[in-house]
């Protein structure tokens, strides 16, 4: 959510930003905000004047009573006692502010000038590659077929228990899944981040504070009969922990890494590359979150996506950085990039993580403020990034470490988390 003062003073800039995000249907909202914001302020101004007049008249009443002019005093008292106009103005203001708030929640955040302009993810821009992508001279099976060789997955049982989009991981594959997450946790602790396990459900006030309504509808599962939603990522509850807080400036930056299961509707997911465990309703993730001063957020953005690249490279998985174009940015984001891992089977990269700078959008919605040494209060900036999401991470790990004989080499950094195992040997 952008600053209402900025919109008042720069309506054309806000409209141009909407055009850059290819959301022209939202253009009328800018004029509507200006109209109803003016109505709300005019109602407030008139109400303040009436209250000031009433206060002045009340003093006159006291003087008249002291002078024995009871009849005149009673006439003024009746005038002061009439609150019908104040009640009318209060209603006008509340209704106008409600329209303003609803519109402001939909108007997208101002994107960074460096963001490439494009309508959808097909216009995202590759910036850098890390590691040499390799296509072996033997066929690489689909990832669930690789897992099945180790008796490591049961989609049929998951379908009977929960339906499509769920899975059972078993044996060494399940252990490898946990090893990746535990290694990612320790990797981030080594970067100075504080490890957290957050609530896996959050209230609606937090949901609307951390994401747009469109994201909420596409992602979140609602708990029936409760003001609770299952989190789609631990960023939601981690940023939510700062709601209504004033953080001393000397306590920034807050650098946190959190583990959680994640639950997503994944509306519209389909196709061969989205079966198996690629796009699912439940997965586990290690996340990184930063709350910082505004002038530090660009620097943290660069650090955070590079941490993910470094993690994947320690497992010899080739990756690339892909900058998200304007049309692919969620409404709260200022700037975002994906980290994509190489798939030798598909002979292309696929998304394994996303890094986002949200500026002060989440802080404005959740009222996350900072107090400096002089007592000045200002809004914090918030950022988030995927360290690793599993089991999607397993796809990259298994494909890039598969040998021709069907065995899978375990990267050295994961071996301590696998009881010293150096490879997985297929059972059939």
Q: What is the pTM of this model?
A: 0.90
User: Phi first, then psi: what are they for 12, rounded to 5°?
Assistant: -70, -35
Residue 36 token pair: 């109803």
Whole-Å CA distances, 224 to 103, 191, 192, 228, 230: 27, 40, 39, 8, 11
Reported as a pLDDT band with limits 50, 70 and 90, residue 50 is: confident
Let me know: does 354 contact 323? Beta carbons within 8 Å.
no
pLDDT-above-70 percentage for the chain:
92
Write out the H or E segment, with its range, that includes residue 411.
Answer: none
Burial classification of residue 170, based on how many CB atoms lie within 10 Å of its CB (0-12 exposed, 13-18 middle, 19 or more buried): middle
What would the pLDDT profile of 88-134 be if each residue is shown by its tens digit? Answer: 999 999 999 999 999 999 999 999 999 999 999 999 999 999 999 99
For the chain, the structural domain boundaries read 4-106, 121-424
Distance CA 300, CA 277 (A): 31
412: how many CB neighbours lie within 10 A of its CB?
A: 11
What CATH superfamily is the domain 121-424?
Answer: Bira Bifunctional Protein; Domain 2 (3.30.930.10)
Instruction: Look at residues 283, 296, 208 and name the one whose alpha carbon lies nearest to residue 253.
Output: 296
What would the pLDDT profile of 333-391 be if each residue is shown by its tens digit? Answer: 999 999 999 999 999 999 999 999 999 999 999 999 999 999 999 999 999 999 999 88
The pLDDT value recorded for residue 63 is 65
Calculate mean pLDDT across residues 184-190: 98
Instruction: Look at residues 335, 314, 59 and name the one whose alpha carbon lies nearest to residue 190.
Output: 314
Let me know: does 284 contact 390? Beta carbons within 8 Å.
yes
CATH architecture of 4-106: Orthogonal Bundle (1.10)
Whole-Å CA distances, 44 to 36, 39, 41, 82, 85: 12, 9, 5, 18, 12
Is the pLDDT confidence value at 213 over 90?
A: no
Distance CA 410, CA 423 (A): 5
391: how many CB neighbours lie within 10 A of its CB?
A: 27
Whole-Å CA distances, 263 to 43, 283, 378: 44, 7, 33
Calculate mean pLDDT across residues 284-292: 97
Reported as a pLDDT band with limits 50, 70 and 90, residue 82 is: low
116: how many CB neighbours lie within 10 A of its CB?
A: 15
């Amino acid at each position: 959510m952008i600053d209402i003062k900025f919109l008042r003073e720069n309506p054309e800039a806000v409209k141009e930003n909407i055009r850059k995000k290819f959301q022209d249907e939202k253009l009328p909202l800018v004029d509507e905000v200006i109209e109803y914001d003016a109505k709300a302020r005019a109602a407030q101004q008139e109400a303040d004047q009436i209250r000031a007049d009433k206060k002045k008249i009340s003093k006159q009443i006291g003087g008249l009573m002291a002078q024995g002019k009871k009849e005149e005093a009673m006439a003024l008292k009746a005038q002061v006692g009439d609150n019908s106009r104040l009640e009318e103005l209060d209603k006008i203001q509340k209704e106008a502010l409600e329209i303003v708030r609803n519109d402001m929640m939909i108007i997208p955040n101002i994107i960074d000038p460096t963001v490439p302009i494009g309508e959808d993810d097909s216009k995202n821009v590759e910036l850098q590659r890390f590691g040499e992508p390799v296509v072996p001279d033997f066929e690489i099976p689909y990832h669930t077929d690789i897992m099945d060789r180790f008796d490591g997955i049961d989609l049929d049982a998951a379908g009977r228990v929960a339906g499509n989009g769920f899975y059972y991981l078993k044996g060494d594959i399940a252990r490898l899944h946990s090893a990746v997450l535990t290694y990612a946790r320790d990797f981030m602790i080594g970067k100075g981040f504080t490890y957290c396990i957050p609530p896996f459900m959050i209230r609606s006030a937090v949901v609307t504070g951390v994401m747009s309504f469109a994201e909420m509808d596409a992602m979140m599962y609602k708990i029936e009969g409760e003001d609770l939603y299952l989190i789609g990522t631990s960023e939601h509850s981690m940023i939510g922990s700062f709601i209504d807080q004033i953080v001393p400036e000397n306590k920034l930056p807050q650098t946190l890494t959190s583990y959680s299961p994640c639950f997503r509707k994944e509306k519209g997911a389909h196709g061969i590359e989205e079966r198996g465990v690629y796009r699912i309703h439940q997965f586990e993730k290690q996340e990184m979150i930063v709350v910082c001063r505004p002038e530090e957020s660009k620097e943290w953005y660069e650090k955070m996506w590079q941490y993910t690249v470094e993690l994947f490279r320690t497992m010899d998985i080739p990756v690339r950085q892909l900058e998200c174009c304007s049309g692919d940015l969620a409404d709260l984001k200022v700037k975002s990039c994906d980290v994509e891992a190489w798939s030798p089977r598909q002979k292309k990269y696929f998304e394994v993580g996303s890094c986002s700078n949200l500026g002060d959008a989440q802080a404005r919605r959740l009222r996350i403020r900072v107090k400096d040494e002089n007592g000045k209060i200002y809004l914090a900036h918030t950022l988030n990034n995927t360290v690793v999401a599993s089991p999607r991470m397993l796809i990259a790990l298994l494909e890039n470490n598969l040998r021709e004989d069907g065995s899978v080499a375990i990267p050295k950094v994961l071996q301590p988390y696998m009881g010293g195992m150096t490879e997985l040997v297929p059972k059939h």
